């Protein structure tokens, strides 16, 4: 192992052991960012839901330490943006906060009162919730004024992405929405082919008597049981030859006979069929433009944030002190956490 790799692993283990030694129950300063500080309690509160999931999954201590370190890095970035808000006086007004809350309620089909009840159910006071909305609006203003102004999307980039995504799409044809029940011979005791097919035949008889195909599929199918055997929309050209032969003569809602295959027995249901319409550039142009824009915005944000970090005194304290030596390449800052700035 290269020396740098060894050092990174050693430091990660060291951080994990120190971070979990006392579970960080006592509050203190996690980091100083310019004249601001980040408290340990803020880090713990931020990562609490994900940490609970990691613990349920019996994640090793080093993974929990990485999560906490990533949470701190997000808070450091938040402090850096807050400082820009103050210097530029890019504050959110009460009217902007109210409008944002009304918009969130409308998007979720809730009244203002229902949204406030939902917030309370999550353990937040209305004041805390308004504070979070305020911070989001202010950060969005910073991103738009400092970063977004540098982003340009060229037509050739959008067309290139379209070609990458849709160059191989069929020119026409038909789409079919299918459900399938499949029992393979290997999953029947002794590899008994007759028993596998009998199981599928019994399911077919139950469905013929009125039981939902989805219920039978959920019980015995080895294909998408959680989705009731739903294998989605498929282009006719992509169907296996045996499936294409069966589906070709079926009507919407019709169920096939039991089909014996070299590896098992199957039952198909044709939910619906429709003509395939190729996706034109105009159909997805706006969506692809937004995707390219977000990619550029993220790149500009990361470059700007690194510049901002370099211009600001940042010192991680106590259990977090080693995180700076590892950096994002060692896994302390995962990609989802690093994208926070582009989501404002």
Per-residue pLDDT, 337: 40
Domain map (residue ranges) of the chain: 3-150+288-343, 174-275
Task: Tell me whether residue 156 is exposed, middle or buried, using C-beta atoms within 10 angstroms of its C-beta: 0 to 12, 13 to 18, 19 or more.
Answer: exposed
Global confidence as pTM = 0.63
Per-residue pLDDT, 26: 53
Per-residue pLDDT, 51: 92
**344 residues of the chain, pLDDT tens digit each:** 444 443 344 444 444 444 444 444 456 899 999 999 999 999 998 899 899 999 999 998 888 888 888 999 999 999 999 999 999 999 999 999 999 999 999 999 999 899 989 989 888 899 999 999 999 999 999 999 999 989 999 999 999 999 999 988 888 889 999 999 999 998 887 788 999 999 999 999 999 999 999 999 999 999 999 999 999 999 988 899 999 999 988 999 999 999 999 999 999 999 999 999 899 999 999 999 999 999 999 999 999 999 999 999 999 987 777 654 544 433 333 434 433 333 33
Per-residue pLDDT, 168: 86
Q: Which numeric CATH code is attached to 3-150+288-343?
A: 1.10.4030.10
Per-residue pLDDT, 175: 92
Q: Which CATH class is domain 174-275?
A: alpha beta
């Amino acid at each position: 192992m290269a020396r740098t790799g060894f050092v990174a692993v050693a430091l990660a283990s060291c951080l994990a052991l120190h971070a979990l030694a006392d579970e960080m129950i006592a509050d203190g300063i996690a980091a100083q960012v310019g004249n601001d500080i980040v408290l340990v309690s803020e880090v713990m509160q931020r990562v609490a839901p994900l940490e609970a999931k990691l613990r349920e999954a019996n994640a090793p201590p080093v993974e929990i330490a990485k999560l906490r370190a990533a949470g701190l890095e997000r808070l450091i970035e938040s402090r850096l943006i807050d400082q820009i808000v103050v210097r530029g006086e890019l504050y959110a007004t009460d009217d902007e906060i109210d409008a944002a809350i009304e918009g969130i309620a409308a998007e979720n089909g809730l009244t203002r009162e229902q949204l406030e009840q939902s917030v309370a159910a999550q353990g937040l006071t209305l004041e805390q919730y308004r504070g979070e909305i305020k911070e989001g609006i202010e950060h969005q203003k910073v991103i738009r004024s400092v970063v977004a102004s540098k982003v340009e999307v060229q037509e050739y980039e959008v067309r290139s992405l379209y070609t990458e995504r849709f160059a191989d799409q069929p020119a026409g044809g038909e789409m079919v929405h299918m459900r399938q029940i499949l029992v393979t011979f290997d999953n029947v005791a002794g590899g008994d082919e007759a028993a596998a097919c009998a199981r599928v035949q019994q399911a077919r008889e139950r469905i013929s008597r009125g039981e939902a195909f989805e219920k039978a599929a959920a019980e015995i199918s080895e294909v998408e049981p959680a989705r009731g055997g739903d294998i989605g929309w498929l282009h006719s050209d992509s169907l296996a030859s045996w499936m294409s032969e069966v589906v070709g003569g079926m009507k919407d809602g019709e169920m096939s006979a039991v089909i014996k295959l070299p590896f098992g027995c199957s039952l198909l249901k044709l939910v619906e069929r429709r003509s395939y319409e190729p996706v034109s550039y105009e159909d997805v142009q706006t969506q692809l433009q937004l995707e390219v824009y977000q990619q550029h915005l993220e790149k500009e944000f990361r470059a700007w944030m690194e510049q901002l970090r370099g211009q600001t005194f940042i010192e991680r304290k106590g259990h977090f002190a080693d995180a700076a030596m590892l950096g994002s390449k060692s896994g302390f800052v995962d990609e989802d956490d690093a994208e926070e700035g582009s989501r404002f």
